[in-house]
Structure 1
Amino acid sequence: MARIIALDYGKQRTGIAVTDELQLIASGLTTVNTKELLQFLKDYAAREKIARIVVGEPKQRDNSPSESEEAIQVFLKRLKESFPLIPVDRQDERFTSKLAFQTMVNSGLKKKKRQNKGLIDEISATLILQSYLNRI
């Protein structure tokens, strides 16, 4: 089987998570500069089979789209052009950054490590992917 990739898309950085080949377990992969994201995905797809890509869908508490959704829509268009055969799904990402930070606290990471925003983005992508796996 192929892997599922999840993205916690951000203006500066994007957290990336991936499943195992059986699509059972979500694991953090890395965080990349958003400007380099498409190239990273192309390089990754050359090494690994990708079944689908899940992109976090930021929403306000009232369920309306977040202000970052406009930038995500532009990215989604480029993503679909670059990977026309790979399905793209969306997953609600409300509170994932807060949950990611709390996960870091609960795991005993020192304050200096918890300030690593890239790590927060990677954990957020993992939470997005795990939520998606739980939903399907």
Structure 2
Amino acid sequence: MARVLAIDYGKKRTGIAVTDPLQIIASGLQTVSTGELNGFLERYLQEEEVSTIVIGEPKQMDYTDSELGGEINAFAEAVQLKFPNVLVERVDERFTSKMAHASMLASGMKKKQRRNKALVDEIAATIILQTYLDRKQAI
């Protein structure tokens, strides 16, 4: 079975999470500079079998696109064109950064660790991926 990869796209940094090959466990993989994201995806998809890429969909409270919405939509379309054999899915990512901070606090991380924005992005990507897995299992 192939992995599922999740992306928490940001202006500067992008958090990435991935499942195990059985698609049971969602784990943070890393955070990359958004400018290096396309190269990272090319390399990763050459090395690993990925069936689905889940991209966080930033929405306002009234369900309209956030300020990054158009950029992320264009990115999602470009990913689908570049990797036509990989399914591209979208998941609402509202509150994932707040949930990531809460998770870090609950796990007992020190204040200095909680300030690590790259780690927050990676955890947010993991939350996006877990949301996708939970939704998929409920169907």
Question: Shorter-chain TM-score category?
Answer: over 0.9
Residue 88 of structure 2 is matched in structure 1 by: 88
Residue 24 of structure 1 is matched in structure 2 by: 24
C-alpha RMSD over aligned residues: 0.8
Q: What are the equivalent positions in structure 2 for 1:27-42 lying under 5 Å apart?
A: 27-42=27-42
The count of corresponding residues between Structure 1 and Structure 2 is: 136
Which ranges in structure 2 are unaligned for 5 or more consecutive residues?
none
Residue 112 of structure 1 is matched in structure 2 by: 112
TM-score (ref. length: structure 2): 0.95
Amino acid of the structure 2 residue aligned with 1:31: T
Q: Give the 4+ runs in structure 1 shifted more than 6 A.
A: none
Amino acid of the structure 2 residue aligned with 1:105: L
Deviations 1:76-135 (A, max 9, x none): 232122211111000011100000001001111111111000000000000000000000
Residue 76 of structure 2 is matched in structure 1 by: 76
Amino acid of the structure 1 residue aligned with 2:42: K
SS in structure 2 of the partner of residue 55 of structure 1:
strand
Shift of 1:74: 2.0
Q: What are the equivalent positions in structure 2 for 1:47-66 lying under 5 Å apart?
A: 47-66=47-66
How many percent of aligned residue pairs carry the same amino acid?
57
SS in structure 1 of the partner of residue 102 of structure 2:
helix
Q: Give the Cα separation in 2 of the matches to 1:59 and 1:73.
A: 12
Q: Give the Cα separation in 1 of the matches to 2:95 and 2:77.
A: 25
1:102 aligns with 2:86: no
TM-score (ref. length: structure 1): 0.97
Worse-superposed segment, 74-83 or 54-63 = 74-83
Residue 121 of structure 1 is matched in structure 2 by: 121
Amino acid of the structure 1 residue aligned with 2:40: F
Q: Give the Cα separation in 2 of the matches to 1:51 and 1:85.
A: 8
Which ranges in structure 1 are unaligned for 5 or more consecutive residues?
none
